[in-house]
Chain A
Amino acid sequence: MIELKNIHKVFNKGEANEVTALHDLSLTIQKGEFAVVIGSNGSGKTTLLNIISGAELCSSGQVLINTTDVTRYREYRRSKWIARVFQNPLSGTAPNLSILDNFRLAALRTTSKKLSIGINDTFKKQVREKIASLGMGLENKIEQPMGTLSGGQRQALTLLMSVMDNTEILLLDEPTAALDPKSSAVVMQIADTLVKQYNLTAVLITHNLKDAHQYGTRLIQMGEGKITRDLNTTEKTKLQLPEMFAWFA
């Protein structure tokens, strides 16, 4: 469960270019909920996600994960609960490391990285099986550097990496923005499957209204650092796509 209480986020405070990205925002996302966040550029979506992940700390307010106050926790300390997929496929993976190394690190997200060699045959087999489930034929390329793969393949693997270790919360920041329509569909399918399979609490930011309509159990629209619409599962199911388009007209 994610709880945000009266979050303010101000950038460049006291300077001429001061921006209030989030304005007294409160939001509770229950365990197992898949919240989709939409909104025009500059509405504060990405800042919201960064506040949850700890990449940015809020100016005032409180962030709780499962009743633990994590407001001052930096990103690497919140990784105990949170896995993240970035907009840029390059940000979520290490290009010069092999697929196997990337997965090894992901498998240790919530624990310490010890001075012992953790990649053995059992681990390799486990990674191969996981990757085979994608049906992309990448299971025989695990020794290859991640950078040799396409953006879609890398995003798919990043998603898979997010469930290598105990995950409660999955943050998806426009994961398909850099992908072609076909890869986008594949990546969204994988994300949806994983969220259901592992009963994850997920937050997806997207500009694709069709995706926002199709996926998720809750729909949140943001504008000027505030939540302007918040639809629960019943309301979201009833919602028609043209109606959503009208919100942005």
Chain B
Amino acid sequence: MEFYITAIMLGLCLSSMSLGIFISMKIFNIPDITTDGSYTLGAVLTAILLTAHWPAFAIIPLVMAAGAVAGSLTALIHTRLKIDALLAGILVMTGLYSINLIVLGRSNVPLINVSTIFSYFHLFTNQTYSDALVAILFIALIASLVTYLLKTDFGIAMRATGDSPSMTRSLGVNTNTMKIIGLAIANSLTALSGYLVAQYQNFTDINMGIGIVITGLGSVLIGDALISWLKIRTIGWQLLVILCGSVIFQLVLAVTLSVGVDPNLLKLVTAIFVLLIVSIPRLKLNLRQ
């Protein structure tokens, strides 16, 4: 049981990143690889500031701002220098690795004997449940804010930017600025996942972000499959399903490990799992033709 709760917790902590990837990939149609870097950036800042005895809540704006800067940088390279979004993301991600290493000072910082966002609250006698509730409330707050944003007039312009750029420009929206703001938001959400995960697992590792974008993509793809299968049109419900996608993804990985798959194969299993999610709808289509 504990095993699955850990998976659910991890899914919840990573679901903020899934929202970010939903924004960059589904709303803006941009494959944003900055994720690996901005996720670690969030965790690195959290570790440094927590060990400097900053209160966990005070760190949040800084973590989000740092993620936003990383995202805007990718978007600026993409829009101003007209470099492919994928390459722009890889460049920023690669650069961030060094920056993260310098900021962290070493490759691994444990977070023991510091007060984290989770250790503030003792809502149940069993701390596991208290942690889960904190994570749920935190994510619920984030998701509500994103839902509100996407429902506003500004949010409609954001959604239209990826959907029909020509129309959006003709309706008085600077689509380049919109992309910069969009990727900034997406990466600040990703950095928040780094913030949560670092505190949940009680350490920050310089390599914790490697391949994390695949986890996010997989979660969004699971969510997206559910969205089109259940024909969900309201943006709020869509985001909720994306959050579920993140938890489902971690649960599937947990099940895979529990049946005895070598943990060293975890990344391979993740990649194959994502490949399966992407390819199943296409395989079905091919059969029908």
Interface centre among A86, A117, A145, by most chain B C-beta atoms within 10 angstroms, is A117
Segment at the interface with B among A92-100, A131-139, A174-182: A92-100
In the bound complex, do residue B156 and residue A104 qualify as a contact, i.e. CB atoms below 8 Å apart?
Answer: yes
Total contacting residues, chain A, CB less than 8 A = 39
| B172 interface neighbour in A90, A95, A101, A110, Cβ under 8 Å | A110
Segment at the interface with A among B34-42, B83-91, B145-153: B145-153
Segment at the interface with B among A26-34, A72-80, A231-239: A72-80
19 residue pairs of the A-B complex, CB under 8 angstroms, read: A75-B169, A76-B172, A76-B173, A92-B164, A94-B160, A94-B163, A95-B164, A97-B159, A105-B153, A105-B156, A105-B168, A108-B157, A108-B172, A113-B152, A113-B156, A113-B157, A115-B154, A116-B152, A145-B233
A143 at the interface (CB under 8 A from B): yes
Which residues of chain A are within 8 angstroms of B167 by Cβ–Cβ distance? Answer: 86, 91-94
**Would you call the interface of chain B mostly helix, strand, loop, or mixed?**
helix
In the bound complex, do residue A115 and residue B149 qualify as a contact, i.e. CB atoms below 8 Å apart?
Answer: yes
Residue of B nearest to A92 (CB): B167
Which residues of chain B are within 8 angstroms of A110 by Cβ–Cβ distance? Answer: 172
Which residues of chain B are within 8 angstroms of A83 by Cβ–Cβ distance? Answer: 170
B279 at the interface (CB under 8 A from A): no
In the bound complex, do residue B233 and residue A106 qualify as a contact, i.e. CB atoms below 8 Å apart?
Answer: no
B174 at the interface (CB under 8 A from A): yes
In the bound complex, do residue B170 and residue A79 qualify as a contact, i.e. CB atoms below 8 Å apart?
Answer: yes
In the bound complex, do residue A101 and residue B156 qualify as a contact, i.e. CB atoms below 8 Å apart?
Answer: yes
Cα A74 to Cα B233 with chains together (Å): 33
In the bound complex, do residue A80 and residue B172 qualify as a contact, i.e. CB atoms below 8 Å apart?
Answer: yes
Cα A116 to Cα B156 with chains together (Å): 11
Q: A94-B163, A98-B233, A145-B233 are in contact. Are A116 and B153 (CB under 8 A)?
A: yes
B171 at the interface (CB under 8 A from A): yes
Chain A residues 140 to 198 lying within 8 A of chain B, measured CB to CB, are 143, 145
A117 to chain B minimum Cβ distance, whole angstroms, is 5
In the bound complex, do residue A79 and residue B172 qualify as a contact, i.e. CB atoms below 8 Å apart?
Answer: yes
A-B contact count (CB 8 A): 93
Which residues of chain A are within 8 angstroms of B149 by Cβ–Cβ distance? Answer: 115
A15 to chain B minimum Cβ distance, whole angstroms, is 18
Cα A106 to Cα B149 with chains together (Å): 19
Which residues of chain B are within 8 angstroms of A218 by Cβ–Cβ distance? Answer: none
B166 at the interface (CB under 8 A from A): yes
In the bound complex, do residue B168 and residue A94 qualify as a contact, i.e. CB atoms below 8 Å apart?
Answer: yes
B231 to chain A minimum Cβ distance, whole angstroms, is 10
Interface centre among A80, A96, A105, by most chain B C-beta atoms within 10 angstroms, is A105
Residue of B nearest to A171 (CB): B170
Which residues of chain B are within 8 angstroms of A143 by Cβ–Cβ distance? Answer: 233
Q: Which 5 pairs between the two chains have the least Cβ-Cβ distance?
A: A79-B172, A94-B163, A94-B164, A113-B157, A118-B153
A218 to chain B minimum Cβ distance, whole angstroms, is 23
Interface centre among A75, A91, A97, A111, by most chain B C-beta atoms within 10 angstroms, is A75
Residue of B nearest to A79 (CB): B172
Interface centre among B148, B163, B167, by most chain A C-beta atoms within 10 angstroms, is B167
Q: A80-B172, A84-B170, A109-B171 are in contact. Are A94 and B233 (CB under 8 A)?
A: no
In the bound complex, do residue A97 and residue B163 qualify as a contact, i.e. CB atoms below 8 Å apart?
Answer: yes
**Given A76-B172, A116-B152, 19 more pairs with CB closer than 8 A:** A53-B170, A75-B170, A83-B170, A86-B166, A93-B167, A96-B159, A101-B159, A101-B160, A105-B153, A105-B157, A108-B153, A110-B172, A111-B172, A113-B152, A114-B152, A114-B154, A115-B149, A115-B153, A115-B154
